[in-house]
Amino acid sequence: MKVLIADNHTLFREGFSSQLQRFDVLTELQEVKDFPAVKALADKKQSYDIIFVDRDILGAEWKDGFKALKEMFPQSRLVMLSESEEQRDILDAFDMQAAGYITKLSNDSLIINALRLIMDGNSYVPPAVLKGMRRRANGESRILSHALPDGKNLTFRQSEVLQHLSNGLSNKQIAYEMSVSEATVKLHINALLRHLHVENRTKAVVTAQRLGILEA
């Protein structure tokens, strides 16, 4: 697996590189410190399986920079690195099809777990988003709407499962809370994925928050 790290913070980049080298699937690792260096690699027709990019090197209009990066490396999975833990920034990154968002303020164990998921081909969303960064006093997120973009509506049970997913519960825990079988929970989750046009539970939560179905 070929990986590129584009980050202008030397200490973080070197430490991040060291963590990546733990993975046996890694075949090539390259580091650059600014966006012009990334563009130079694109001009040379270099390709990468995963690109970890620091939001700072994308400039003040980082969204435009991210879109440009996707155009330069259309086959690569892009993972955002940032000091920002603002939920809006995180959701915006996923809205632009980021494969992950790693906050630089995370502890080493959390970063290692994030890398493990990403290197295995999965997406990674910070726990703060999955659990909701601005919880109500009772500590739970709320379903704000049952309406879907296609005009259909989530059932009460589907909404209940979605809320439990946002609180980080496993299928077994959801089954216990709802007094149903795990098989039933899986059916509800599969229905949610179809309705939201996503492939996993993580993206279901992120998409529901972005659409205003689930409280952020």
Domain boundary among 98, 124, 150: 124
Residue 140 belongs to what domain range?
131-216
pTM: 0.64
Pair (71, 140) in one structural domain: no
Pair (102, 31) in one structural domain: yes
Pair (97, 41) in one structural domain: yes
CB 204 within 8 A of CB 161: no
Q: What is the CATH number of the domain that holds 62?
A: 3.40.50.2300
Q: pLDDT-based confidence at 128, cuts 50/70/90?
A: low
Query: Which pLDDT score, from 0 to 100, does residue 176 have?
Result: 86
Domain boundary among 74, 98, 124: 124
Pair (112, 138) in one structural domain: no
| Total count of domains within the chain | 2
Is pLDDT above 70 for 131?
no
Average pLDDT rounded to a whole number, residues 200-206: 88
Query: Which pLDDT score, from 0 to 100, does residue 153 have?
Result: 79
pLDDT in tens, 144-157: 677 777 667 788 78
Query: Which pLDDT score, from 0 to 100, does residue 129 have?
Result: 63
Q: What is the CATH number of the domain that holds 187?
A: 1.10.10.10
Pair (10, 104) in one structural domain: yes
